[in-house]
Amino acid sequence: MKKQKEKICTIIALIILFILVYFAQNRLDAYKIRILNLGAIYVTLGVSLNLIYGFTGQFSLGHAGFMAIGAYVTALLVLPPYYKEVSFILEPLIWPFTVIHAPFIIALFLSGLFAALVGFLIGLPVLRLKGDYLGIATLGFAEIIRVIANNLPHITNGALGIKGIPEFTNLWWTIGVAVVTIYIIKGLINSSYGRALMAIRENEIAAEVIGINLTNNKVMSFTISAFFAGVAGGLFACLLTTIDPKAFMFVMTFNILAVVVLGGLGSITGTVIAAFLYNIFLEYLRPIEAGFNLGPVHFPPIPGLRMVSFSILLLVLILYKQRGLLGGIEFTWGGFFRFCNKLFSNKKSTEGSAS
């Protein structure tokens, strides 16, 4: 009975989201839409990183690498043949990339699959490492991907990158992918398999002696995480329309990590909120880089100042609210209704006292 009610609530919420996306896509200006698109892509990236880091407890810094893989796969699959001829100036694009072509949705799916395959192959040896060592190894992996992209001009066009990628990405795609990502990863977390992952996070030895295979479960989590990072990379490529290896430097992973930490490790709701806040915040702070007056003091233009101020904010948050913005609370319909009830009854009682 209760499950039924929650299902209906979810469907209503999705319909409302659908209407909101419709209006946002048609009424908002391109600049705002872009920020929302980025926010939604960060939701996918953040939730997938949270799966491996927040829920499975494996410190992975490879997300930019998986994103890069996804971005290049999508770019090569959706790029019109004309652009494939003109933009590869250093070295001509080699067969079969010259002829393969796929619709956006298939390109995204293949991006995910390819990233997942690489994740699986990398994860198998690397996930034996723990903590900082794993972080460094995965960071190294992401760098390797970037260096490869830089040095395979007849596939990636080297440092020049790929230009003229069709701008397929819109709010339908980014929000749609984010919703699917949340649905699947939440479904995984709230299952026996998800419990196994959290058991590994909590205590590896205990998990092992109650029959949980560490390698299999870690690799499974890592592979799924890589899949969604790859899909997000594809969305990213078709949002920017230009990609080059510089777009996938460590800063990219840092941004995603910041979103996950901001929202709280192991909190999907937190990640969603943090992903949008982060992107809106960074845009909002853009003017300060142009220089500003604070009372009588004049600050000259300092590029990168918004990242600095963001980092300070993150630091303060980590110091004072270690479990993230929401303190580890997860959204549930039950909690939502309790919250509404409280609001409502408060209102009533204040009204009562006023009269």
Partner 1 sequence: MEILNIDNITMQFGGLTAVKNFELRLQSGELVGLIGPNGAGKTTIFNMITGIYTPTINRIYFKEMDITGMKPDKIAKLGIARTFQNVRLMENLTVIDNVMIGFHLRLRSNLASAIFKFPGYIQEEENIYQKSIELLEKVDLERCKMENAGSLPYGQQRKLEIVRALATEPKLLLLDEPAAGMNPQETKELMCFIQKIIDDFDLTILLIEHDMKVVMGICERIVVLNYGLTIAEGNPKEIQHNPEVIKAYLGVEAQYA
C-beta of 61: minimal distance to partner 1 in Å? 23
Rounded least distance, CB 111 to partner 1, Å = 20
Residue 99 or residue 209: which is nearer to partner 1 going by CB?
209
Q: Is position 193 an interface residue for partner 1 (rule: CB under 8 A)?
A: yes
Closer to partner 1 at the Cβ: 78 or 189?
Answer: 189
Phi, psi of 176 (to 5 degrees): -60, -50
DSSP 4-54: HHHHHHHHHHHHHHHHHHHHHHHHS-HHHHHHHHHHHHHHHHHHHHIIIII
Shortest reach from residue 183's CB to partner 1, in Å: 9
CB of 335 to partner 1, least distance (A): 14
138 in Cβ contact with 62 (< 8 Å): yes
Q: Which of 15, 45, 16 is nearest to 279 (CA)?
A: 45
How far is residue 76's CA from residue 98's CA, in Å, rounded to a whole number?
8
- Stretch of residues binding partner 1 (CB under 8 A), selected from 35-43, 82-90, 186-194, 248-256: 186-194
Instruction: Give residues with Cβ within 8 angstroms of 133, minimum separation 6.
Output: none
Residue from 243, 251, 279, 185 nearest 69 by CA = 243
Which C-beta is closer to partner 1: that of 203 or that of 311?
203
Q: Does 187 bind partner 1 (CB under 8 A)?
A: yes
Q: Binding string to partner 1 for residues 196 to 235, with x set by CB under 8 A, is what? A: x-xx--xx-xxxxxxxxxx-----x---------------
Smallest separation, CB 344 to partner 1 (Å): 26
Looking at residues 88 to 147 of the shown chain, list those that interact with partner 1 (rule: CB under 8 A).
Answer: none
Output 88 or 228, the one with its CB closest to partner 1. 228
CA dihedral over 136, 215, 270, 42, signed as positive or negative: positive
Beta bridge partners of 297: 294
Whichever of 3 and 27 has its CB closer to partner 1, that residue is: 3
Please state the separation of Cα 80 from the chain's center in Å: 27
Which residues are near partner 1 by CB under 8 A?
A: 184, 187-188, 191-193, 195-196, 198-199, 202-203, 205-214, 220
